[in-house]
Amino acid sequence: SAKELVPGDVVLLEAGNAVPADMRLAESANLRIQEAALTGESEPVEKHTDALAREDVPLGDRRNMAYLGTVVTYGRGTAVVTATGMETELGKIATLLQTVESGMTLLQQRLDQVGKQLAVGGLVVAALVMVIGLLRGETVQEMFLTAVSVAVAVVPEGLPAVVTVTLALGAQRMLRRRALIRKLPAVETLGSVTTICSDKTGTLTENRMTVTVIDVAGHFLELQGTARRHPATALRVPDADPDFLADQPPEIGLALAAGALCNDASLQPDPQTGRYQALGDPTEGALLVAASQVNLQRQALENIVPRAAELPFDADRKRMTTVHRLPADTSSLPVALRTLTNAPTPYVAFTKGAVDGLLPLCSTIWLNGAIIPLDESWRQRIEVANDQMAQNGMRVLGLALRRQDDAAPVEDELTFIGLTGMI
């Protein structure tokens, strides 16, 4: 149990695990950790066990550490606990939040200053009225009551109501411009703002990726509308459309199936809500969600075409390959993979990765159910499509396959399938 951990304990970390404390890595095998909740870094961070060059390394660059509140997305490792509870980096942030004192806004400071000035002015005027009255022979009691009345009259009793109404009107105007104000004093501060510097991950974005575009040989498909109905962390299985692929070119289904099979992420069901949570690398989770939207579940696919071998993702290669054994009876293949029966072999390998590293390994392209040579014109078209997606702020992955007679993973002479763009 995480509650029983103390500094010095050794913890095994595997994909899908939440890091239970701050710890120093002792072993790392392709270990990557999602640290968005702590540092705001949207991409999983690759970890190692090497010592840091200096002591004052920023938190996000401490690659030999794992921190409470982060999640292992890939690989495995062992680590030694260094801090628990409020002594962790996340605990220190919580302590700072508890000790933060909220100061007054500029408007509040000005109103406070005006109030003090009116109080002083009222007392001075009341004193003058009383002194002048006494010099003119008026009674002390009568002049005291007059002085108090003057002092009370100086107080602008309608000012708080006027300020509140003014701020409320300002909040309504900002709401029409899609700016929601929770506290009225913030209207005055926000009204003076010309530039907003904000953390992106978890603030402007939800820290999850969604496949929005699939570009395969000769076909282009936008999934943005579908993706909005099925966010990555709120996918409901009954919403999957089993008939979607029937109306699409076979290459679309092949690309979605390739993304689901060449994948180490998983969709974990929540029995209470019936929704699925993507666990693992956000990019791989987005591919699983896209496939699930058309009723392609990774586990169901692997039951039919089990994984026989793999080449894990490597930061230098920037790609991953899995080899799958095809069934002897090809009629059992799902619709998305039936196009493979045009040229049957015992095994098929799927590769996904960065387009600039994947495209040079491809010699052919899958087009309308047939394999044709990947000539220069097709290469240029793929590169242009890749650049256009990247310019639109998408992360682009290339997908390819290789028909082979054995289970040895080989990343050469590949057949290019298509591109997936995600945001």
Catalytic residues: 199
CA distances from 345 to 325, 349, 395, 401, 403 (A): 9, 11, 32, 12, 6
Counting beta carbons within 10 angstroms of the beta carbon of residue 157, is it exposed (0 to 12), middle (13 to 18) or buried (19 or more)? exposed
End-to-end CA distance of the chain: 36
By C-alpha distance, which of 280, 273, 332, 311 is closest to 402? Answer: 311
Which phi and psi (to 5°) does residue 265 adopt? -80, 175
Separation of alpha carbons 147 and 400, rounded Å: 91
Number of other CB atoms surrounding residue 9 within 10 Å: 15
Separation of alpha carbons 365 and 356, rounded Å: 16
Q: Is the dihedral of CA 139, 144, 150, 153 positive or negative?
A: negative
Q: Is the dihedral of CA 124, 126, 127, 131 positive or negative?
A: positive
By C-alpha distance, which of 307, 119, 296, 278 is closest to 210? Answer: 278
